[in-house]
Amino acid sequence: MASSSGGPRKRRPDFSCMEQPPLIKQLRGILSEYPDGGQILKELMQNADDAGASELKIMLESRRINRNLTDESPEYTKFFQAPALCIFNDAEFTEEDWRGIRMIYSSVKEEDSLKVGRFGLGFKSVFHMTDYPCVISGDTMLLIDPHRPAHEVNAKLKINEIHEIEGMETSDLLRAIGGKYGFDKSVVDKGYFRGTMFWFPLREKASQISEDVYDVGKVEKLFGSLSAESSSILIFLKSLVRLQLLKMSQSGNEEHVLRVHIQNEKEIQTSRQSFFSCVKSASSKQAVSCVFTMTIKEETATVTSKLTKWLVVNYCIVHNATNDFKRLIQSPKLGLSPCVGVAAKIEPFSAVDGHIFCFLPLPKEGSKLTGLPFHVNGFFALSQNRHHLKWETDDQDHQYVSDEILWNKKLLTEALPLAFQKALDTSISNADTYGNKASLVDGVYLWIPNLETVLDKWNLFFMTALQLFEDKNIVFCEHFNSWKRVSDAVFTTFSNLPHKFEFVKAPVRKAIGSCGQFPVVVPEHVFLTLNLLFGRQIIDISPLNFADILRNNATYKNMTDKDKQALVAYLTSERNIHTLEGLDLLLLASGEWGTFKHNGSTKYICSEIEVNMFQGSERIFIMPYARLDQCTKEAMHLICEQSKCIIVDDASAVHGTLCVYMKRVLHHVMDGFIIY
């Protein structure tokens, strides 16, 4: 065909596709990205959760089944060997799932921001343990053999046609899988299996895919790894409420290694479904959240049962996201959801080692992951193997960073703080509703970490989160049985108080409350954190500012003598008697409380016997030591050292006073006589 310009005819260049590495080489690459370990089982859990399953069972078939194969053995019997790992969930594969499981370095889930697991990569990590995975779901069976030519890798067949397939022996299939999760001959005849089952024969010798062999011991280690996280592994999932680990013994007995289930599963399923339905709704313009308590029951072979209760908050930021964050939320390239969550253990009451979840816990690497006393969850942008959050390195600091790194920053500084706010508000409200029992108050403070132990990027999150409470009631005042703002509280840490003055704490707090102030007691780490964030607003009690509180309100005068003695001991605990100036805290021998005046009239400290010599003049004497406790004695001694008091070791020092006193007595006596 001539060109339009009339010149010589032109032709198109030769086109070709890029050469792809063989499948086995690609699988080896994936295995190098996904290190062998407990994450394999988590990938299968995540896929079950994405599929909407409520139950997952993982069984180790430890018996040797169909292992003595020869060249004459049916071709597909190698898929039905044991020892093997058998996984069941009660959801069924969709057509998209069947397509997705056959994909590599891609996924049908990429368009769904609420799907976490990736059949495109995560599922392929099972090749650490097997060369021949088998999947059964609904009316279909899929046999994957990476060793075959590219166009024959995936053998897909209908269950009721198994007996018609060349190289398939039904008896070999049933010998291995028969009786497991309801799969039997009747299922083969009817051609339908309710749920999804994976069967992974363990690799017993090196292959082209991997040189690593997998034995029963390795699977038991995977079980141990998963069991270690069993009390928390279900808390952030979207649908799973039950998990079982089982082992088929050599004698054919089914042994329960672990049972985990959510006791209040119906309530949790309803809350989860409602939350994620709202998140999916394009019309939802308001922030979406749900709060629930989740009770998880664990049963193991050695422990009958163990209950753990969690307070869980799920939160999805929408309208209140910044413009930068909204851009990332709407980015089809990222395809991530701004859903986050936090969870704290409330029964048994104790802080946890804060773990990062992307719906399931990320691998524990290093001594700590966040340093927070609660777990955090989010659709984080993760490394390819789902082991790490993507985060800027020191070299990238203050330079251009990718949207994935920026996304993680936004989750930490915008989304997670709001989830934390909801959690802390809920904890405070619960405590208030049930009378502020000590355990509930402690449960509130459980959410607040010592910032010195929190890792840098999580420090950024928590400081942002706690600043949301700058003007909110966050500390408990037992005196008034109510929650107060940090700026209204008087913290009573007594941080510099010697141990021997322990007895003064309760009376001092009582005095602060009686004066209309709000005495607050918080754990040491909570005070350190609050002081770091709100230092300018915080008043921590000291003898000096305590004296000011007393001078501004005279209600302390109505306290008992014992309590007042404790106040004197505290006010002088730093060996400064000027804190007593103007306060009616000078205990006289008369039993009255005089006003302390540094330049006032002279007072005497004498023994009980000596004071008794001056009946009617007790007001010039300080209460005798014999009537005081040791700390009050020391306080009074200090007062005398630094003021106009005289310590009388013998009666001669009061001779002049005695003479005056005797003359006055004699005068009254003489007035009573008539002399003739």
The amino acid sitting at 568 is V
The overall pTM is greater than 0.95? no
Assign 628 a pLDDT band (cuts: 50, 70, 90): low
Q: What is the CATH number of domain 23-228?
A: 3.30.565
| Mean of pLDDT values over 72-77 | 93
Assign 114 a pLDDT band (cuts: 50, 70, 90): low
DSSP letter assigned to residue 359: S
More confident residue, 250 or 137: 137
- In the chain, the N- to C-terminal Cα span, in Å, equals 166
Assign 241 a pLDDT band (cuts: 50, 70, 90): very high
| Mean of pLDDT values over 229-236 | 95
More confident residue, 569 or 520: 520
Over the stretch 309-338, which tens digit does the pLDDT of each residue have? Answer: 999 999 999 888 999 999 999 888 888 999
Q: Exposed, middle or buried: residue 56 (CB in 10 Å: 0-12, 13-18, 19+)?
A: buried
Give SS3 for 180.
strand
| Mean of pLDDT values over 581-609 | 73
Best mean pLDDT range from 300-309, 520-529, 591-600, 605-614: 520-529
Neighbouring C-beta atoms of residue 419, cutoff 10 Å:
28
CA 353 – CA 349 distance, rounded (Å): 13
| Mean of pLDDT values over 140-157 | 95
| Mean of pLDDT values over 190-194 | 97
| pLDDT, position 666 | 41
Asked if 146 and 23 touch (Cβ cutoff 8 Å), the reply is yes
Over the stretch 344-356, which tens digit does the pLDDT of each residue have? Answer: 999 988 889 999 9
- For the chain, the average pLDDT equals 86
Pinpoint the alpha helices (H) of 121-215. 170-177, 185-190
**Tokens 């006003």 correspond to what residue?**
595
Return the domain boundaries, the chain. Answer: 23-228, 261-456, 581-676
| Mean of pLDDT values over 480-504 | 94
Assign 676 a pLDDT band (cuts: 50, 70, 90): very low
| pLDDT, position 650 | 41
Among residues 569, 568, 621, 632, which one has the least CA distance to residue 592? Answer: 621
